[in-house]
Amino acid sequence: MELTVVGKSPAMPDAGGAQSGYLVADGAFKLLVECGGGVVAKLRQFTDLASIDAVLLSHPHADHAMDLLPLGFALAHGLGLASPARPPLWVPPGAAAVLNDFSRALGMGSQIDDAFTVREYDPNLPLRIGPLTVSFAEVPHYVRAWACDIRADDGGRLTFGADCGPNGALVELSRDTPMLMLEATEGPGPHRGQHVRGHLTAAEAGELAQAAGARTLLLTHYSDLHDPRALLTAARTGFAGRLELAGELQHYRL
């Protein structure tokens, strides 16, 4: 299994960056996890859009779903495919209507349904996507969101925390994972203010990864306004394992 970070920006894109997008490959099978703004342009730098076999969303926030429209356009029209394959687009409960409303509101009609076979997953059950098996845990965020534990039959595994505040459900889902990819949208920390928690600081991500027994922590969804060294230092205070910052178009073997 291989991971390519397509985009790691939070809601405000990095200079030259793309929002959430992660390409997980198992052999020839390609699963795109999240499809935020800028992801399609980045994908085209290294892969054929028609080779994407399935798409998975953790939650329907714009910075995770915005580029479904250009991806849908490419699949349904832009690539000149004679009969679009309509790859499955796996979305959380209730998100299919949200995405179709979004498409219609922006003048793109039924493009989401034209380009994808949209299916809502049952987060209480393991989901088989091609050769991969995905398990879910609901995590605290500003809309309902599900962390995803993605496993290949050969033992490869990636756990993705989606967007979330500190929580125990993700610790359980990611128990002993070789690779835990967590957002650090709130920067190095410490957390300030009293608002409802829907994101992690780098320090909290480190603590969560340590509690889970993760071997590697990959920090993502952080802004280029934060000092990378400060992010790593903050995460290191709570985490003893291998620690990395996600970079766009970086590859990881899982």
Which positions lie near Zn ion, rule CB under 5 A? 61, 63, 163
Give residue 102's region: left, alpha or beta (phi > 0; psi -120 to 50): alpha
- Give the residue with the Cβ less far from Zn ion, 26 or 223: 223
Q: In 10 A of CB 49, how many CB atoms? A: 16
Closest CA to 249 of 2, 3, 4: 4
C-beta of 61: minimal distance to Zn ion in Å?
A: 4
Residue 101 CA to residue 149 CA, distance in Å, equals 29
HSE-CB for 173 with a 13 A CA cutoff: 29
Give me the sign of the Cα torsion angle 60, 65, 69, 72.
negative
C-beta of 57: minimal distance to Zn ion in Å?
A: 10
C-beta of 141: minimal distance to Zn ion in Å?
A: 5
User: What kind and span of H or E run contains 211?
Assistant: helix 202-212
- Give the residue with the Cβ less far from Zn ion, 7 or 70: 7
- Give the residue with the Cβ less far from Zn ion, 177 or 220: 220
- Give the residue with the Cβ less far from Zn ion, 60 or 189: 60
Closest CA to 70 of 98, 94, 100, 36: 36
- Give the residue with the Cβ less far from Zn ion, 138 or 163: 163
C-beta of 59: minimal distance to Zn ion in Å?
A: 6
C-beta of 10: minimal distance to Zn ion in Å?
A: 6
